[in-house]
Structure 1
Amino acid sequence: MTINVRRSRPEDHAAILSLMDAARGAGLSDEERARRGFVQGNLTGELLDRFEEGPGVFVADAAGELAGFAITSEPSRLPPHHPAAAAVAAVLGAADGRDLGRLFLYGPVAVDERFQGRGVLTRLLTALCRALADDFDLAVAFVETANERSLDVHRHYGMTEAARFEAAGRAYVAFTFSPAAFARARP
C-alpha cells in the first residue's frame, strides 16, 4: 500500500479530529494507556486552521484514508499556561544560555491502529523534517512520563531528552531533535 505524506487541507479536519479522539485512549486503564500510548489536548477545526497557518499539519494519506497526522506549530502561537510553553521553557533553561536557533513544536501525532507498524510515523516525521529543515533549527516535543509507549518511540528515533518538567500536576519529558539531521539520516 502506498502512503503519501502531504500538508493537510480543510477537508482532512474531520478525519484528523476523529483520529485524535481515538488516540486519547479513553476508557482504557492507566496501564493500558501507558502500554498503547495516548495523545492529549483538545483539538478543534479552528485550531487546525491556526496550525495550518504555521509550520503545518502533515497527514499520511493511504489511498484517500487518513493513516496518521503530525502537527507542528510555533511556540509563540500557544498560550503561556500550555504544557508546550513549559516544554520550551524547560528546553531553553537546560540550554544554559546557548542559542538553540529557531524552534518549532512537534506534536500531537497519531497513527491509526490499522496502519501501525507500517512505517507511517517514519514517513510523517521524515517528510515534515524535510519540509521544515530550512526554516527551523530544532524541534521540541513533550511526552507525559506516564506515556511509556510514546517515550519509547521518541527514544527509538534518537530524539534527545533535553529536560524534565511539570505542568498542571503532571510530569513530562521534553525531547528535541534537529529536523535537518533527521532528514539527512533517512534516504
Structure 2
Amino acid sequence: MIIRQAVPADYDSILEIQRLNTPENLDAENLQQGYIVSQMSRAQLEAINSKLGILVAVEGKTVAGFVCMTATCAKPHPPVIDALLEQTETHSLNQRPMTELTPFLYGPVCISRRFRGAGVLSQLFAAVKAHMHGKYDAGLAFIADDNPHSLVAHIQGLGMSDVTRFHFDGKDYHLVAFEV
C-alpha cells in the first residue's frame, strides 16, 4: 500500500468511494460499518488538495481510501464545522486549552469496503500526522453519534481523544481530536 498526495486522476475514485459510503447508498448492515456524510464535488476536491491536501492509499492502480485535511479558516465549509469550532473555545486536548492550539480539520476520511480491516486507516492517519507535523498542533474531526463504528475506529483504533459531544441541526456529534 502506498500513501501519497492525491492527483487529479484520483478524484473520480475518491468521489466513487464517497458516493458508495453515504447513508443513502448503504443497506442497514453496511451502515453499521460506518459512513461518510460528505458530498464533495470534483471542484471541492481540487480546492482542498491545492491547500492542505488529500492523501490517498493506493494499491496498484486502485485507490483504497482517502483523507482530506483543511484549514479551520477555510471557507466555505459546512455549518456543522462552525458548531465544532465553537466547542474548541471551552475545551482542552491533553490538558492544553484548544484555544492555544493551531488546529486543522481532519476528514472526511473513507476506506473502500474492499480494503477495510487491512490497516489502511492507520496508515493514512500516520501519514496525516507526518504531513502536518511542524505546521499544526492538532487535528479536529466530528463524528456523528449514530456512527459508532467510525467513533470506535478513531478513538480506540487510532487513539484520538473524544473531547466532547455537541448538538447541531437535530443531530448529536462527537468532537474528536489528536495532537500532531
TM-score under structure 2 length normalisation: 0.90
Determine the structure 1 residue equivalent to 2:87.
Answer: 90
Aligned residue pairs total 176
- Give the counterpart letter for 1:164 in structure 2: R
Q: Deviations over 1:125-173 (max 9, x none)?
A: 1011101111000100100000010111111111111121111111100
Q: Secondary structure at the match of 1:165?
A: strand
How far 1:93 moved relative to its partner?
2.3
CA RMSD, 1 decimal? 1.9
In the aligned structure 2, how far is the partner of 1:81 from the partner of 1:75?
Answer: 11
In the aligned structure 2, how far is the partner of 1:175 from the partner of 1:132?
Answer: 17
TM-score under structure 1 length normalisation: 0.87
Q: Secondary structure at the match of 2:177?
A: strand
Moved more, 74-83 or 169-178: 74-83
Of residues 64, 68, 77 in structure 1, which corresponds to 2:65? 68
Identity across the alignment (%) = 26
1:54–1:152 Cα change, 3 Å? same
In the aligned structure 1, how far is the partner of 2:55 from the partner of 2:103?
Answer: 17
Of residues 5, 10, 13 in structure 2, which corresponds to 1:12? 10
1:31–1:87 Cα change, 3 Å? farther
Q: Is the 8 A contact 1:91 1:162 kept in 2?
A: no
In the aligned structure 2, how far is the partner of 1:28 from the partner of 1:61?
Answer: 23
In the aligned structure 2, how far is the partner of 1:150 from the partner of 1:51?
Answer: 22
Determine the structure 2 residue equivalent to 1:173.
Answer: 174
Q: Is the 8 A contact 1:78 1:85 kept in 2?
A: no
Q: Is the 8 A contact 2:2 2:57 kept in 1?
A: yes
In the aligned structure 1, how far is the partner of 2:76 from the partner of 2:96?
Answer: 23
Unaligned runs of 5+ in 2: none
How far 1:30 moved relative to its partner?
5.8
Q: Deviations over 1:12-57 (max 9, x none)?
A: 1100000001111324456752x21100022001111111122110
Moved more, 71-80 or 114-123: 71-80
